[in-house]
Amino acid sequence: MSARKILIYPDPRLRTPCEPVAEFDQALESLVKDMADTMYDAPGIGLAAIQINVHKRVIVMDVSESRNQLQVFVNPEIFDLNQGTREVEEGCLSVPGFFVPVKRPEKVLVKAQDIQGNHFELEADEMTAVCIQHEVDHLDGKVFVDYLSRMKRERIRDKLVKSQAEPEARVA
């Protein structure tokens, strides 16, 4: 079990660009293992490598209730299937304690590679669609608070900066 530390917004390392994975080797396998441990430990339904300060295009997800349906996406790409948009309340392990509605495409096509490098495609809807879009945003240096007004975003930022300076004041 190797859960790693999750970067908290507004850490500038959450903006660092993520490189595509070229080698499907042992190092990738152990990265994915640590990411899964970190996600289940948190607990969360998804995690992007950038959140543990690894700047590679790797995502783990488990949106199942039983918490035993791990999905791994390497070098993912997302295409809007133009089935409309939907607003869902989102949270983020890098923005602990805040839940805010975000509007996104309702159904997307995901093209990605698995841990061995095999290409696959998936039509995603429901929470899978929400989560994969949230995670690919992370790989592009984006955090869900970027969709909010500047005023709301700065309020969240100030609270998180404060709660990290004074751990006893932390909400989550």
Helix (H, G, I), strand (E, B) or coil at 72: strand
**Helix boundaries (H) for 3-149:** 26-41, 126-139
Helix (H, G, I), strand (E, B) or coil at 124: strand
Using DSSP, how many helices (H) and how many strands (E) does the chain show?
Answer: 3, 7
| Span near ligand GNR by CB under 6 A; candidates 20-28, 47-55, 114-122, 154-162 | 47-55
**Token pair in block for residue 53:** 């300060």
Active-site residue (options: 19, 135, 166, 168): 135
| Span near Ni ion by CB under 5 A; candidates 52-60, 73-81, 88-96, 119-127 | 88-96
Name the residue whose CB lies closest to Ni ion.
92
Say whether residue 92 binds Ni ion (CB under 5 A).
Answer: yes
Distance CA 64, CA 58 (A): 19
Say whether residue 93 binds ligand GNR (CB under 6 A).
Answer: yes
Residue 52 contacts which entry, ligand GNR, Ni ion, none (Cβ below 5-8 A, type-dependent)? none
- Read off φ and ψ for residue 129, nearest 5 degrees: -65, -45
Say whether residue 78 binds Ni ion (CB under 5 A).
Answer: no
Q: What mask of x and - would describe binding to ligand GNR in positions 6 to 45, judged by CB under 6 A?
A: --------------------------------------xx
Residue reference for tokens 């995670």: 135
Active site amino acids: 135
Residues that bind Ni ion (CB under 5 A): 92
